[in-house]
Amino acid sequence: YDDKDGMIWMDGQLVPWRDANVHILSHAMHYASSVFEGERCYSGKIFKSREHSERLLESGRLLDMPIPYSVDQIEAAKTAVLEANNLTDAYVRAVAWRGAGPDMGVAARRNPVRMAVAAWEWGAYYGDAKWQGAKLDIAKWRRPSPETIPTSAKAAGLYMICTMSKHAAEEKGCSDALFYDYRGYVAEATGANVFFVKDGEVHTPWPDAILNGITRQTVIAMLRDMGIVVHERHIMPEELAGFSECWLTGTAAEVTPVGQIGEHNFQVGQMTRKVAETYEALVRA
Ligand code: PMP
């Protein structure tokens, strides 16, 4: 996958895809000093592009790893990558990390903070069976407390248990895993937020130990505009049995219907369809 045509923006310049390498002694490789963004470009325009650039900078600040670029510079980098690769509909990955330098220990202020942006075509995150409803496993691991790790950062270290949980889910024939948080509340999937429907109203976890996704915020605003009541609150696993519909939201996942979580089944119902269609129209508007 690294030996491919195309261009990647790295530290201020476009470099050939196959030359976009980092040194094995990069601090990020050893200590997870890395933050990233996942974005989608629709018909030539990245949806909520500035919000993603701002979140990337905020993630860097939260990790005491200031990223040496402004929002405008990051916007320009993303545009340059899309143009250089002739992409109008694509997934965009921005990443910033602490590189190699004089410090090989945990403290690494003298090592430069580096940044790259890549883009490629990426279709439906859960494959073509989207409308059948994704099947989710309950993760063995839990989303950590905000006193343990900065949970509002989109930081690489927070994804270690995501990869482990998604692998375990896939081995059981599921497409993703749903996490509970450190208190036992329903939290999020490995790369997406979760929503439920009950009696025509929507319920979604309060974002105090999860990533408050940009898609999540967009969908909540969209639902409220449609006059639908949205409850952001702590949701107990025992409540899963009482919900009729469920979907996931995320930049990559967009709005993905969920058909099953563990032993609980959900219908791909009217509300889910409406939300998915409205979101699809919004990102291309
Ligand atoms: N939670 C996690 C753990 C994620 O990785 C993502 C994807 N960035 C989300 C939620 C959804 O966030 P967004 O809508 O900003 O893509």
Counting atoms of ligand 1 from 1, which one is nearest the CA of 52? 15
Class of domain 130-283: alpha beta
Ligand 1 binding pocket mutation candidate from 42, 154, 178, 217 (most atoms within 8 A of CB): 154
Residues labelled as active-site residues:
154
Is 130-283 the same fold as 7-120? Answer: no
Q: What is the pLDDT, as a whole number, of residue 134?
A: 96
Q: What is the pLDDT, as a whole number, of residue 106?
A: 96
Task: Kindly report the protein residue whose alpha carbon is nearest to atom 10 of ligand 1.
Answer: 192
Q: Is 250 in the pocket of ligand 1 (CB under 6 A)?
A: yes
ipTM greater than cut 0.95: yes
Q: Is 191 in the pocket of ligand 1 (CB under 6 A)?
A: yes
Q: Is 188 in the pocket of ligand 1 (CB under 6 A)?
A: yes
Q: Is 35 in the pocket of ligand 1 (CB under 6 A)?
A: no
Report how far ligand 1's centroid is from the alpha carbon of 110 (Å).
31
Q: Is 215 in the pocket of ligand 1 (CB under 6 A)?
A: yes
Q: What is the pLDDT, as a whole number, of residue 203?
A: 98
Q: What is the pLDDT, as a whole number, of residue 128?
A: 66
Report how far ligand 1's centroid is from the alpha carbon of 39 (Å).
10
Report how far ligand 1's centroid is from the alpha carbon of 145 (Å).
17
Task: Kindly report the protein residue whose alpha carbon is nearest to atom 4 of ligand 1.
Answer: 191
CATH 3.30.413.10 fits 7-120, yes or no: no
pLDDT in tens, the chain (285 residues): 888 999 999 999 999 999 999 999 999 999 999 999 999 999 999 999 999 999 999 999 999 999 999 999 999 999 999 999 999 999 999 999 999 999 999 999 999 999 999 999 987 777 767 889 999 999 999 999 999 999 999 999 999 999 999 999 999 999 999 999 999 999 999 999 999 999 999 999 999 999 999 999 999 999 999 999 999 999 999 999 999 999 999 999 999 999 999 999 999 999 999 999 999 999 998
Q: What is the pLDDT, as a whole number, of residue 122?
A: 86
Which one, of 101, 114, 115, 97, lies nearest residue 25 by Cα?
A: 101
Give the residue extent of every domain in the chain. Answer: 7-120, 130-283
Q: What is the pLDDT, as a whole number, of residue 126?
A: 75
Q: CA torsion sign, 161 to 166 to 172 to 178?
A: positive
